[in-house]
């Protein structure tokens, strides 16, 4: 049910303004509660000991995902050892604050340890390693991680399966067989934790293009052949302020019509930085409108069940190093944890009466 007092509290929050670092009268997670969407963010376990970081996180979000802590480079320091320490910290924080955990990611050709990338493994050895990895990690987090990005970024911009360690360099024994290695990973994942929701996560495929067409075709094929897939993650690292949300909505519509969920998994809207590393005021307003329209597109569709930002404070965001310092200010809170216009836009959208929940 949509609660009218939310509107009052929202107004109070907006009147209170965005400049003071005070807690808003209603938070994102309170606003999201009556809807069908989870509101999440990527997190770094090393920052959970920073008071403002932990307090903002616990107050605003009901879902978290480790930005790096469940990737191979962290969980597999060497072939024979698993390190669940950092991932466990994230899971513990989530438990303590009534949040869900999304897992990220089990199969990717990036963020892998050197011993794996340069190990000169045969396809049979790689296949064993991957199966063991998926099985061990998912069993460790069974009951704690409700959804996993099983495979991340496997396609190129033309919709072809990318050449990669897991596909054909040397691959797990299914090279030149298109999406067969992706299918294999999903089958292993389902065996490891039948309760977990299994997602294919991808970049630059939010709208309608060759890559998103290929994802659509793959999911359609998987559903027809009963390959266990539950959802598609659309990353949404946005760098264009004229972002096309009509195409995003159309893509969400066609994917959910196949019977899978969509999660917005890595939303950020990076801005060019001027002198002193500061973003322009107009850009911050336009950024807010991009956030608003993405949240709106998700809320419109009952099959879009989570909206997650890639970090939440401009103090800590991958955009800085990724863009070599030329872009930033991509997230809903500024460096001092003050809500930005983007935050208010998300909050306003989440506080609108929902489809079917009024």
Residues that bind ligand XIL (CB under 6 A): 67-68, 111, 152, 203, 235, 266, 318
Catalytic residue, candidates 89, 183, 206, 266: 266
With contact defined as beta carbons under 8 Å apart, do 111 and 104 qualify?
no
The DSSP call for residue 84 is -
Nearer to ligand XIL, 70 or 255 (CB): 70
Is residue 349 part of the annotated active site? The answer reads no
Q: Which two tokens stand for residue 211?
A: 């890559």
C-alpha distances out from residue 168 to 123, 314, 333, 352, Å? 9, 38, 41, 48
**Minimum distance between the CB of residue 331 and ligand XIL, rounded to whole angstroms?**
12
Cα separation, 76 vs 310, in Å, equals 23
Nearer to ligand XIL, 79 or 203 (CB): 203
Nearer to ligand XIL, 30 or 313 (CB): 313
Which residue number has the CB closest to ligand XIL?
Answer: 318
Nearer to ligand XIL, 111 or 128 (CB): 111
Is residue 153 part of the annotated active site? The answer reads yes
The 3-class secondary structure across 248-269, one letter per residue, is HHHHHHHHHCCCCEEEEEEEEE
Nearer to ligand XIL, 212 or 235 (CB): 235
- Give strand ranges (E) for 63-156: 63-66, 100-107, 145-152
**Minimum distance between the CB of residue 88 and ligand XIL, rounded to whole angstroms?**
19
User: 303, 40, 317, 146: which is closest to 138 by C-alpha?
Assistant: 146
Catalytic residue, candidates 153, 183, 206, 349: 153
Nearer to ligand XIL, 298 or 330 (CB): 330
N- to C-terminal Cα separation, the chain: 5
Say which residue the tokens 């569709």 belong to.
301
Say which residue the tokens 């399966």 belong to.
161
**Minimum distance between the CB of residue 42 and ligand XIL, rounded to whole angstroms?**
7
Cα separation, 265 vs 65, in Å, equals 9
Q: Which residues pair with 65 in a beta bridge?
A: 42
**Minimum distance between the CB of residue 265 and ligand XIL, rounded to whole angstroms?**
8
Number of residues that make up the chain? 358
Exposure letters 125-149 (e unless 16+ CB within 10 A, then b): ebbebbbebbbebbebbeebbbbbb
Cα Rg of the chain (Å, integer): 20
**So which residues are the catalytic ones?**
153, 266
């Amino acid at each position: 049910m949509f609660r009218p007092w939310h509107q009052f509290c929202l107004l109070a929050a907006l009147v209170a303004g965005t400049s003071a670092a005070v807690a808003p009268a209603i938070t994102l997670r309170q606003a999201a509660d009556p809807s069908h969407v989870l509101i999440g963010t990527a997190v770094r376990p090393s920052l959970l000991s920073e008071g403002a970081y932990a307090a903002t996180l616990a107050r605003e979000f009901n879902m978290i995902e480790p930005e790096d802590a469940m990737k191979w480079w962290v969980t597999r320091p060497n072939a024979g050892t698993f390190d669940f320490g950092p991932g466990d910290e994230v899971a513990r924080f989530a438990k303590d604050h009534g949040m869900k955990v999304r897992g990220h990611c089990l199969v990717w050709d990036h963020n892998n340890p050197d011993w794996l990338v340069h190990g000169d493994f045969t396809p049979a050895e790689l296949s064993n390693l991957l199966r063991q990895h998926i099985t061990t990690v998912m069993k460790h987090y069974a009951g704690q991680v409700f959804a996993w990005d099983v495979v991340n970024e496997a396609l190129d911009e033309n919709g072809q399966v990318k050449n990669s360690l897991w596909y054909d360099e040397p691959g797990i024994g299914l090279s030149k067989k298109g999406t067969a290695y992706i299918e294999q990973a999903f089958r292993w994942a389902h065996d490891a934790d039948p309760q977990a929701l299994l997602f294919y996560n991808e970049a630059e495929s939010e709208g309608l293009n060759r890559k998103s067409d290929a994802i659509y075709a793959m999911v359609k094929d998987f559903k027809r052949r009963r390959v266990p897939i539950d959802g598609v993650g659309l990353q949404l690292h946005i760098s264009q302020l004229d972002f096309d949300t009509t195409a995003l909505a159309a893509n969400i519509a066609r994917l959910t019509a196949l019977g899978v969920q969509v999660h917005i998994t890595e939303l950020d809207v990076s801005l060019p930085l001027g002198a002193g590393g500061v973003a322009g005021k107009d850009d911050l307003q336009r950024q807010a409108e991009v956030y608003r329209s993405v949240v709106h597109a998700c809320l419109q569709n009952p099959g879009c069940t989570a909206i997650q930002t890639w970090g939440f404070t401009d103090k800590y965001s991958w955009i800085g190093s990724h863009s070599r310092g030329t872009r930033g200010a991509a997230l809903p809170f500024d460096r001092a944890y003050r809500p930005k216009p983007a935050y208010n836009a998300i909050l306003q959208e989440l506080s609108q009466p929902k489809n079917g929940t009024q």
